[in-house]
């Protein structure tokens, strides 16, 4: 089957690899030449991922039968709608359905209208007077974010990025006046205490088939310090839970996702594609931080590196409303670490050549996914975003982390890595933090 993939990052490399393994013939559209995707493809086109007409023309000219859209921006621009109108089945939500990510206001109000569990106190407004009244009533211990897309970097947290009510009001004013996120609407949410985790589901309009739970690491530097990024790495455990996450809490998060999908269905929204739930495990259980309308990056690499079912069949099932009852994943732990350009998170070095010893990485047993690099006749060069994702696999997180570290040494250049991801000290801190939140003793 001819399958179109859209996007040029490591997430999309992992998607293309999983589809290819299932027997797909890949035709790719990406703005940068990702060498991994290029090699997997029958053919590829270098095109901006939001150039809807150009992508549709390319797909039709190659008689593509099925499409998988990786990033959120083309979903917001209506790529899934345009492809479907052209007779191509799409594993990706329509522009209306993608509002679960592209409009935080829509997401929060949808959950409120349908009494979906895992809700938080919130306000979505473009009125500074209304925001002031809400803060006077609820206090300033909040998270503030634009309602629209900001590449995962728009949220500011009281006590971390904001230190006073004036700071909170000032950021809200910036969002409204500068139309940050494209809408000029500020969303204020109660600040949650706990541990974040990700649960991603495959959706066909009726079913939500879950994948293993993953924990991402947004901060640029070790010890959870430095600026927020698109994600420096992530890990999952062999039992598909996390060291601080019980089966009961995993099931509660899945229930929230299924009820959110049903809320959309009740409003006439047929959601097909990946539904990504970002949760905070609190003293009261999982609460929703956000939903995304696509795989996480890097979390896609964790789950697709151990998928045992045919991802081509799963993609077709999502697109056509015919998913099977479950999707199989290997009982293996994964640790993903990103190799990024020096300065990433503030002023990343772009256009720097990197050397990747692919044979050595393969011999180590780890999996290599190229990210937002650009390949030319002269080699592989950094852009302003992440460069290479390395996934280690093992019977335990410790074993997977060791394999990942050994493989990373085979990527050289003006780059850096957050090495503490998946290490026992950091995971122990996560467990101790969650025990403290619950008022338990870590035995």
Q: Over its length of 443 residues, how does the chain's per-residue pLDDT go in tens digits?
A: 999 999 999 999 999 999 999 999 999 999 999 999 999 999 999 999 999 999 999 999 999 999 999 999 999 999 999 999 999 999 999 999 999 999 999 999 999 999 999 999 999 999 999 999 999 999 999 999 999 998 777 899 999 889 999 999 999 999 999 999 999 999 999 999 999 999 999 999 999 999 999 999 999 999 999 998 999 999 999 999 999 999 999 999 999 999 999 999 999 999 999 999 999 999 999 999 999 999 999 999 999 999 999 999 999 999 999 999 899 999 999 999 999 999 999 999 999 999 999 999 999 999 999 999 999 999 999 999 999 999 999 999 999 999 999 999 999 999 999 999 999 999 999 999 999 999 887 65
Measure the CA–CA gap between 200 and 101, rounded to whole angstroms. Answer: 13
Determine the pLDDT at residue 135.
Answer: 96
Q: What are phi and psi of 243, to 5 degrees?
A: -55, -25
**In this predicted structure, what is the pLDDT of residue 105?**
96
208 forms bridges with which residues in the sheet? 203
Residue with tokens 């035709």: 27
As to burial, measured by CB atoms within 10 angstroms (0-12 exposed, 13-18 middle, 19+ buried), residue 378 is exposed
| Contact by Cβ (8 Å): 254, 199 | yes
167: tokens are 């700071």
Closest alpha carbon to 167 in 176, 152, 157: 157
Backbone angles phi, psi at 308, to 5 degrees: -110, -25
Map tokens 């996390």 to a residue.
242
Phi then psi dihedrals of residue 13, to 5 deg: -65, -45
Task: Give the integer Cα–Cα distance in Å for 240 and 46.
Answer: 36
Query: What are the structure tokens assigned to 199, written together?
Result: 């649960």
Please, where are the H alpha helices in 178-220? none
Q: Which of 25, 26, 31, 80 is nearest to 56 (CA)?
A: 80
Whether 55 contacts 6, CB under 8 Å: yes
- Is the distance from CB of 329 to CB of 306 less than 8 angstroms? yes
> How many Å apart are CA 162 and CA 143, to the nearest integer?
9
Taking residue 164's Cβ as centre, other Cβ atoms within 10 Å add up to 10
Q: What is the pTM of this model?
A: 0.96
Pairing of strands 2-6, 333-341: unpaired
Q: What is the CA angle 212-214-216, rounded to 5?
A: 160
Residue 60 half-sphere exposure toward CB, CA atoms < 13 A:
12
| d(C-alpha 388, C-alpha 369), whole Å | 6
Give the CA distances from residue 369 to residues 72, 359, 427, in Å, rounded to whole numbers and listed in that order: 19, 13, 24
Q: Give the Cα separation of 315 and 31 in Å (integer).
A: 23
Q: Are 107 and 119 spatial neighbours (Cβ–Cβ below 8 Å)?
A: no
- List alpha helices for 48-177, DSSP H: 52-61, 73-76, 79-85, 99-102, 104-113, 128-138, 165-177
CA distance 210 to 2: 26
d(CA 56, CA 275): 24
Q: At what angle do helices 10-21 and 311-320 cross, to 10 degrees?
A: 100
């Amino acid at each position: 089957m001819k399958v179109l993939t859209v996007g040029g990052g490591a997430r999309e490399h992992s998607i293309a690899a999983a589809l290819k393994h299932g027997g797909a013939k890949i035709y790719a559209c990406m703005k940068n030449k990702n060498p991994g995707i290029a090699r997997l493809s029958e053919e590829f086109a270098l095109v901006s991922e939001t150039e809807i007409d150009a992508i549709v023309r390319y797909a039709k000219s190659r008689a593509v039968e099925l499409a998988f859209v990786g990033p959120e921006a083309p979903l917001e621009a209506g790529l899934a709608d345009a492809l479907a109108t052209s007779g191509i089945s799409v594993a990706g939500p329509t522009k209306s359905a993608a509002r679960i990510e592209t409009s935080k206001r829509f997401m929060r109000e949808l959950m409120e209208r349908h009494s979906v569990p895992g809700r938080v106190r919130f306000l979505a407004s473009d009125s500074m007077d209304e925001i002031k009244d809400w803060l006077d009533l609820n206090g300033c211990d909040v998270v503030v974010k634009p309602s629209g897309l900001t590449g995962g970097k728009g949220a500011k947290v009281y006590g971390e990025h904001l230190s006073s009510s004036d700071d909170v009001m000032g950021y809200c004013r910036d969002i409204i006046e500068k139309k940050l996120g494209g809408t000029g609407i500020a969303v204020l949410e109660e600040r949650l205490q706990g541990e974040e985790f990700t649960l991603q589901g495959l959706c066909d309009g009726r079913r939500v088939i879950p994948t293993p739970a993953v924990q991402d690491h947004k901060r640029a530097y070790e010890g959870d310090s430095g600026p927020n990024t698109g994600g420096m790495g992530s890990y999952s455990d062999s039992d598909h839970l996390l060291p601080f996450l019980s089966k009961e809490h995993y099931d509660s998060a899945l229930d929230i996702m299924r009820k959110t999908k049903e809320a959309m269905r009740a409003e006439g929204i047929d959601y097909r594609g990946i539904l990504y739930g970002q949760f905070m495990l609190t003293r009261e259980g999982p609460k929703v931080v956000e939903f995304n309308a696509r795989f996480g990056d890097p979390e896609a690499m964790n789950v697709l590196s151990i998928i045992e079912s045919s991802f081509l069949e799963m993609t077709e099932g999502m697109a056509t409303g015919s998913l099977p009852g479950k999707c199989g994943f290997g009982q293996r732990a994964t640790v993903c670490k990103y190799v990024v350009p020096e300065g990433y998170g503030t002023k990343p070095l772009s256009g720097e050549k990197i050397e990747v010893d692919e044979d050595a990485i393969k011999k180590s047993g780890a999996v290599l996914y190229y990210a937002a690099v650009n390949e030319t006749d002269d080699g592989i060069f950094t852009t302003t975003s992440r460069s290479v994702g390395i996934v280690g696999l093992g019977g335990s997180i410790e074993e997977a982390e060791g394999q990942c570290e050994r493989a990373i040494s085979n990527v050289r250049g003006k780059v850096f890595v957050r090495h503490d991801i998946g290490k026992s000290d950091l995971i122990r801190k996560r467990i101790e933090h969650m025990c403290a939140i619950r008022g338990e003793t870590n035995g």
